[in-house]
Structure 1
Amino acid sequence: MRTLLITSSGPGEGKSSTTANLALVFAQQGKKVLLVDADLRKPTAHYTFRVDNRVGLSSVLVGEMDYLKAVDASEEENLDILSSGPIPPNPSELLGSKAMQHFIEQAKESYDLIIFDTPPVLAVTDAQVLANLVDGTLFVVRSKATDQESAKKAKELLAPAKAKLLGAVLNDKEVSKNSYYYYAN
């Protein structure tokens, strides 16, 4: 697997934090990782990793810049960031474009893993558009916040996009002292 999409059913479920943490873990394991902020509506990677957002994915997809010039190195070895760039008027069209397919093929030549942070599935179609271009999709759900119907609806929306759903990440789960998963010092 070389390309991974991270999404959720709605906002505030932790998909961007999960994306950042997964990217860091893979980079620390020696993989050359590119984190792409494909949330062209409410991007956050440039805040998380303190990189410039004046150019980014949108700049690459409209042909203003080569992706290698738009990528920023993070403070973590082996982890590069491609921020969203300026918010375009047509995010879904850009994400489903031939330019996006070309970008993914080019990036695969330089990176072991490309991780895409996308908008929530129930908010806009961007994740569905991009899901059929990647090798796998992870779905983030927040404990006690994501309702079962929203998660089910999001999964149903990803199916026609031929999304290869790898599984779900349960975020923000409280673990009690008596739980099997609790580790003592």
Structure 2
Amino acid sequence: MVRKKKNTMNTKARNLIAEDNPKSPIAEQYRTIRTNLQFTSVDNELETMLVTSAGPSEGKSMTTANTAAVFAQQQKRTLLVDADMRKPTVQYTFRIQNMLGLSNYLAGTQRVKDLVNTTHVDYLDVITSGPVPPNPSELLGSHKIEQFIKEAKQHYDMIIFDTPPVLAVTDSQVLSNYVDGVLLVVRSKQTEKEAAAKAKEKLDQAKANVLGVVLNDQEVTSSSNYYYYYGQ
């Protein structure tokens, strides 16, 4: 597959800890997420999934990026797609331009291979959101997204979408019908129980296959220190 050369940009990258500090206890937790996801899909291979949250600022995008990185570390050809066309972040995480991306494909003007950016992580490519469209939900619900996934599957073992919060817009619910499963992220001491329950309810209404919930930013106690020893 011919891939577009990565374009760098002068902005502060977010920390991809699964790649930058793979022996850390946090990186180990991302590998645990990967293992649990694989166990949940033992009967049906997990090839496509989306990651969402109940509300904003719950760690959804960094969970998505690090989960994609640990799948790539298994030498699975992994594609991370920024489907948050309202507040995209993938370009900041990987320091790439966001001139062309998913919205261009869904508008019918590009092919998947023309949108792929390589990253510093082996086996991991990304597609940014592209220019912000006026109608993200309608684009994600069109037949073009199904075509996008089918085309991407020809080149990748795992395709992971970063999507907007469930309670903010309907994008995640719409896209959930086209992927194998959904991972819901909540933040400790921030996400209200009612909000998490409402998010799960909306995903159930959309007939999404909820694979599990990630509790992000949980306070680390001394009992967690064994991870440091194990990772040496």
Fold agreement, TM-score > 0.5: yes
Counterpart of 2:165 in structure 1 is: 120
Aligned-pair CA distance for 1:161: 1.1
Selected match of 1:40 from 43, 62, 85: 85
The question of 1:158 aligning with 2:203 is answered yes
TM-score for the superposition, normalised by structure 1: 0.97
Aligned pairs (5 A) from 1:69-88: 69-88=114-133
Counterpart of 1:168 in structure 2 is: 213
Aligned pairs (5 A) from 1:6-155: 6-155=51-200
Aligned-pair CA distance for 1:71: 0.9
Question: 1:141 is aligned with what amino acid?
Answer: V
Question: Considering only aligned residues, what root-mean-square deviation do their CA atoms show, in Å?
Answer: 0.9
Aligned partner of residue 134 in structure 1, secondary structure: coil
Please give the per-residue CA displacement for 1:40-72, whole angstroms capped at 9, x wherever unaligned: 100000110111100000001111111110110
Aligned-pair CA distance for 1:86: 0.1
Question: 2:80 is aligned with what amino acid?
Answer: L
Question: Structure 2: how far apart are the matches of 1:142 and 1:112?
Answer: 29
Structure 2: gaps spanning 5 or more residues = 1-45
Structure 1 segments (4+ residues) deviating >6 Å: none
Aligned-pair CA distance for 1:175: 1.9
Aligned-pair CA distance for 1:22: 0.4
TM-score for the superposition, normalised by structure 2: 0.77
Aligned-pair CA distance for 1:182: 3.5
Question: 1:12 is aligned with what amino acid?
Answer: S
Deviates more, 1:62-71 or 1:7-16: 62-71
Structure 1: gaps spanning 5 or more residues = none
Question: 1:156 is aligned with what amino acid?
Answer: E
Question: 1:131 is aligned with what amino acid?
Answer: S
Question: Structure 1: how far apart are the matches of 2:225 and 2:193?
Answer: 26
Q: Number of paired residues?
A: 183
Please give the per-residue CA displacement for 1:106-131, whole angstroms capped at 9, x wherever unaligned: 11111000000000000000000001
Larger RCO: Structure 1 or Structure 2 (Cα < 8 Å, ≥ 6 residues apart)?
Answer: 1
* Identity of matched residues, %: 60
Question: 2:97 is aligned with what amino acid?
Answer: D
Question: Structure 2: how far apart are the matches of 1:158 and 1:141?
Answer: 14
Question: 1:25 is aligned with what amino acid?
Answer: V
Aligned partner of residue 110 in structure 1, secondary structure: coil
Aligned partner of residue 102 in structure 1, secondary structure: helix
Aligned partner of residue 52 in structure 2, secondary structure: strand
Question: Structure 2: how far apart are the matches of 1:85 and 1:5?
Answer: 18
Please give the per-residue CA displacement for 1:4-48, whole angstroms capped at 9, x wherever unaligned: 110000000001000000011111110000000000100000110
Please give the per-residue CA displacement for 1:68-103, whole angstroms capped at 9, x wherever unaligned: 101101111100000000000000000111010000
Aligned partner of residue 81 in structure 1, secondary structure: strand
